[in-house]
Amino acid sequence: MAAGGFCKLPNGTVVVALNLPRPLAAGSGSVRVLVHAHNRARALTRLRNLGLRAVYLRGNGQPPTPDEITAVLHHPDGLIWRTAPGVDAVAAELWHPIRTLIRRPAAPTP
């Protein structure tokens, strides 16, 4: 179960923030993922469609901050990530598009 939360915007859309374990191919630790969608269910569906199958939002313990909301609203995909705040996190890390986190390893060439 992922820690996170959501924020409903004045136009009716939501921004969902989740702390998830980093996929095995991308290293160790956890990441903070932000999703902009029409509702919470669609936000979670967007993540599940990318291969993050066991993503659930229980409660609103860690909603997105105003800076995080601004970052995801200004991204064309509306789906971004960075290292979760913690001991090993870099304070000045920028937000990354989700495709950089969920890259499929290239097939080896013969």
pLDDT digits (tens, 9 = 90+) for 90-110: 556 888 888 887 765 555 666
Q: What is the pTM of this model?
A: 0.81
Instruction: Work out the percent of the chain whose per-residue pLDDT is above 90.
Output: 40
Mean pLDDT calculated for residue range 84-94: 65
Task: In whole angstroms, give the CA distance from residue 86 to residue 108.
Answer: 35
DSSP 8-class letter at 98: G
Beta bridge partners of 8: 14
CA distances to 35, 77, 87 from 91, in Å: 21, 24, 10
Mean pLDDT calculated for residue range 46-65: 87
Mean pLDDT calculated for residue range 6-34: 84
24-28, 43-47, 99-103: which has the highest mean pLDDT? 43-47
Pinpoint the alpha helices (H) of 19-103: 40-49, 66-73
